[in-house]
Chains A and B, each alone.
Chain A
Amino acid sequence: MALTFHIPSYLAAFAGDSNSLSLDGSPATMRDALAALWVLHPGLRDRVVDEQGEVRQHINIFVGNECIRFADGLATPVPDGSEVLIVPAVSGG
């Protein structure tokens, strides 16, 4: 079953002008899912994670309603058919 990524508008230009992406395969964790996403859309990677592969401080990733920061981070399991949201955090000034 496919996994669906929901992409914020700012990043759509780096994802084929799409806000929603389907990913075939069965990645076990968010790390695996993101690795597959970077292959399809390499422009997303540097904007979502830093050089060390960590999710940038002011970006949240949800699996369904669960923020991976409060789960197992990049090791958070991604069940088949999950909806994954990449969301700009509420921050700034």
Chain B
Amino acid sequence: MPSVRHIAPAGGDVLILVGTMKGLFVLRSNGARKRWEPGGPYSIGSPVYAAAFDQRHGRHRLWWTQQSFRWGTSLASSDDYGRTVTEPQTYSIKFPAESGVTLKNIWQICVNAADQPDTLYCGVEPSALFESRDAGASWSLVQGLFNHPHRAKWTPGGGGMCLHTIVPHPTDRKRMMVAMSTGGVYRTVDGGKTWEARNQGVRADFLPEKHPEFGQCVHKIVQDSANPQRLFLQNHWGLYRSDDSGDSWKDIANGVPSDFGFCMVAHPHDPDTVYIVPIESDEYRCTPEGKLRVYRTRNAGASWEALTRGLPQKNALETVLRDCLSADTLDPAGIYLGTRSGKVYGSSDEGKSWQLIAEGLPAVVCVKAAVVESGAKHASRPRAKGRKTRPTRKVATKRVAASRKLARRK
């Protein structure tokens, strides 16, 4: 088992939460974002498909998912950057027994706006949305979406049938968009009671009908930083923009080497500015021409420019998955990406230049960046009855001992 390092961030530091197929790593830097200190791994051996940092209400709380192939999928959290990890006694995200459904994975943790400091959402597999109103102590299934008549016809994509994207409206608390593979985009305007498919203009190359009401394999949607009605969408083939809160989508794949891809992130401050990493095809699923290129639009998709300085442009057969592109909120903004080959690249100048900030990690499946707020105090929390552990060293020691015993037997 690997040894575990803990970080001790200060206000103004930048964190990158890196979820991998073998645990969570937390990278820390100061505002210059030139040198990175690694922390973790946490939940050693478990795929971590989702992570989030909740700083509302004075918290400094890391959330992440642990998908154990043995023990099932659960949420873990830490209020001290991993030194103490809390796992609930009973899993907090579960389908009701009468639903006949079992949880396979948690794909997204969404920390809602500051004026709702105790609200969180999780998107899960099979596709469903869970909501917490008590800072994550308890969760409930959003029945309005779960009971949608379309649900029986949502089908799994390559990664499973997952609700992977949650976009709350920044001011209207009753409005929210979600995206799933496959199924497409759905929107509620009444706080989750009812949901409507919002996929007009988005194509589904893998279906006989190329523009169905729903069933598209949407990989990611993001919201414009200034105009919440403007959204961008990376599809399983197709790059789109909506200017009417998802009522309609128009093709904006202007000058990109491929309109296939997984990830997408909006600039945190600059309107009309979005980043993507094109992938060659849905069969090959690697960067075109062996070049790792981030593409950026600064005009809402009218044109895209390749950002390559510091990124490998030879023999770079990389895959960047749907949650592996992220931005911090500094000015200039930092942009970060993680690859399936276990590398993390970062840019502290909005993508103009890049540096390799971690390598040799397990396959990266989630990257989330955040700036640590100054002056926030560690908050007391309402907890589900659970265990607090200093898990990594204690458990690791036991496991090493057990494996040695096994080796002696052999």
Q: Mark A38-70, 1 if CB is under 8 A from B, else 0.
A: 000011011110111110111100000000000
**Interface stretch of the complex, out of B48-56, B92-100, B218-226, B374-382:** B92-100
Per the 8 Å Cβ criterion, residues 15-37 of A in contact with B are none
Residues of B within 8 A of A88 (CB): 70
Report Cα–Cα, A11/B87, bound state, in Å. Answer: 12
Minimum CB–CB distance for B287 against chain A, Å: 25
Minimum CB–CB distance for A7 against chain B, Å: 12
The reply to whether A56 and B94 form a contact with Cβ atoms under 8 Å apart is no
Q: How many pairs of A and B residues are in contact by the CB < 8 Å rule?
A: 57
Closest chain A residue, CB of each to CB of B74 = A46
Report Cα–Cα, A88/B403, bound state, in Å. Answer: 14
Total contacting residues, chain A, CB less than 8 A: 24
The reply to whether A58 and B97 form a contact with Cβ atoms under 8 Å apart is no
B-side interface mostly: loop
Given contacts A14-B387, A53-B97, whether A43 and B90 have CB atoms under 8 Å apart is yes
Question: Of B89, B102, B389, B398, which contacts A9 at CB under 8 A?
Answer: B398
Whether a CB of chain A sits under 8 angstroms from the CB of B152 is no
Residues of B within 8 A of A47 (CB): 71-72
Minimum CB–CB distance for B65 against chain A, Å: 14
The reply to whether A58 and B387 form a contact with Cβ atoms under 8 Å apart is no
The reply to whether A51 and B102 form a contact with Cβ atoms under 8 Å apart is yes
Report Cα–Cα, A59/B89, bound state, in Å. Answer: 19
Whether a CB of chain A sits under 8 angstroms from the CB of B114 is no
Residues of B within 8 A of A10 (CB): 70-71, 395
Residues of B within 8 A of A54 (CB): 102
Minimum CB–CB distance for A34 against chain B, Å: 14
Residues of A within 8 A of B89 (CB): 14, 42-43
Question: Of A11, A46, A57, A92, which contacts B90 at CB under 8 A?
Answer: A46
Residues of B within 8 A of A71 (CB): none
Whether a CB of chain B sits under 8 angstroms from the CB of A75 is no
The reply to whether B97 and A51 form a contact with Cβ atoms under 8 Å apart is yes
The reply to whether A9 and B387 form a contact with Cβ atoms under 8 Å apart is no
The reply to whether A51 and B101 form a contact with Cβ atoms under 8 Å apart is yes
Whether a CB of chain A sits under 8 angstroms from the CB of B1 is no
Question: Of A9, A46, A58, which contacts B70 at CB under 8 A?
Answer: A58
Report Cα–Cα, A74/B90, bound state, in Å. Answer: 21
- A binding-site residues for B, Cβ under 8 Å: 9-11, 13-14, 42-43, 45-48, 50-54, 56-59, 88-89, 91-92
- B binding-site residues for A, Cβ under 8 Å: 69-72, 74, 89-91, 94-97, 99-103, 386-387, 389, 395, 398-399, 402
- New contact pairs (9) apart from A9-B402, A52-B102, CB-CB < 8 Å: A11-B71, A13-B387, A14-B387, A46-B72, A50-B72, A51-B94, A51-B103, A56-B72, A89-B70
Residue pairs across A and B with Cβ atoms less than 8 A apart, 19 shown, are A9-B398, A9-B402, A13-B387, A13-B389, A43-B90, A45-B90, A46-B74, A48-B71, A50-B72, A51-B97, A51-B101, A51-B102, A51-B103, A52-B100, A56-B70, A56-B72, A59-B70, A88-B70, A92-B69
